[in-house]
Amino acid sequence: MKTILTGLRINSDLQLGNYLGAIAPMVRLANAHNKDHRINFFIPDLHSIISNIDGDLQTNIIRNVKYYLAAGLEINDNVHIYRQSYVPAHSELNWILNCSATMGELNRMTQYKEKGEGKSSVNVGIFDYPVLMAADILLYDATYVPVGEDQFQHLELTRNIATRFNHKYGEIFTIPAPTAEQAKAMGQDDGKGIRIRDLTNPEKKMSKSTPGENSKIMLSDTPAVAAKKIMSATTDSVGTIRFDMFNQPGISNLLQIEALVTNTPLQEVISTWSGETSYGDLKQKVASSVSTMLAELQAKFAAIPDELIYELFASGEKYANEAANIKLLAVQKAVNLR
């Protein structure tokens, strides 16, 4: 059985980029393959403590899982939901993989550079975070890892670390699929990952940590607030709608959001709107699609009891510890620690 696996940090409420870049693709992939694939969705709580937490970590954990269920994740015996820190093998494998990763490759990670930029001191967790992510993936032999484009560099690193390890110690790890294949599995025919842009500065990705309320749509925004943010999104002065991320990133971002939110192929959305001249009409359509999506998501979210999440953790963490300990022992034997 192949494994599909992903995780989202719980530092804060989630934004639309998390939903469209990771939650929705994971749910689609999981529901399509849950009869013959293992579906692992986990909470990377150890990754979360590398930086500040907005609100209460435990509350954020529950909220994060609820978004997956509200997005339609079906549960069966192949679906496992667990918290990273409840499976100590993640940290142990992290250490062993540290000895196969190099300072040079970690130094090149864009996220590390961005997070460290201008700071006189950066914690080691931020530097080592991609290696823990590699451990999260390799412990369960994951083939598909639905993540947004900003995490593709970490997936490539995971592939490199695993390949190096296998070369030195024998075929222990499954190498995750190359990123172009990952993108295709997520429904991105162009082989590129999803990157939802900041609404006020579409050169940048949408991120919770960017200041400015209008730059991002939070999953907890009321549909009316979300619609207002779309209506005030930065566009350009070209005057004609075209999908061109380089010259018209704001307009292109809206077309991309419309396609993902309505589950319509991007090419179809592009041909509907190409050549139109009313940016207002496009914004109104996207605002309405996003509001409808949020209203449905929030209604489903509100109906999920906390107890259900704890029940899922209990069975998920039992499975995860068993599976991870088997892999960890194989790794320990390979490096002659056992």
As measured in angstroms, the least distance from the Cβ of 305 to ligand TYM is 25
How many residues of this chain interact with ligand TYM, rule: CB under 6 A?
Answer: 24
The correct pick among 7, 176, 223, 249 for binding ligand TYM (CB under 6 A) is 7
**Could you say whether residue 182 binds ligand TYM (CB under 6 A)?**
no
Residues 288-327 that bind ligand TYM (CB under 6 A): none
Instruction: Spell out, one character per residue from 237 to 266, where the chain touches ligand TYM: x when CB under 6 A holds, - when not.
Output: ------------------------------
204 is catalytic: no
Residue 145 or 269 with smaller CB distance to ligand TYM: 145
**Could you say whether residue 194 binds ligand TYM (CB under 6 A)?**
yes
**If you search the block for the tokens 């500065």, which residue do you land on?**
201
**Could you say whether residue 151 binds ligand TYM (CB under 6 A)?**
yes
205 is catalytic: yes
The residue from 205, 229, 283, 327 that is catalytic is: 205
The residue from 184, 192, 208, 300 that is catalytic is: 208
Strand partners, 205: 197
As measured in angstroms, the least distance from the Cβ of 297 to ligand TYM is 15
Residue 30 or 194 with smaller CB distance to ligand TYM: 194
**Could you say whether residue 283 binds ligand TYM (CB under 6 A)?**
no
**Could you say whether residue 28 binds ligand TYM (CB under 6 A)?**
no
208 is catalytic: yes
**Could you say whether residue 46 binds ligand TYM (CB under 6 A)?**
no
The correct pick among 3, 18, 34, 252 for binding ligand TYM (CB under 6 A) is 18
Stretch that binds ligand TYM, among 193-201, 218-226, 262-270, 282-290 (CB under 6 A): 193-201
Backbone angles phi, psi at 216, to 5 degrees: -145, 155
Task: Compute the distance between CA of residue 156 and CA of residue 64 in angstroms, rounded to an integer.
Answer: 26
As measured in angstroms, the least distance from the Cβ of 165 to ligand TYM is 17
Catalytic residues: 115, 205, 208
Q: Which residues bind ligand TYM (CB under 6 A)?
A: 5-9, 17-18, 21-22, 44, 47, 133, 136-137, 145, 147-148, 150-151, 194-196, 205-206
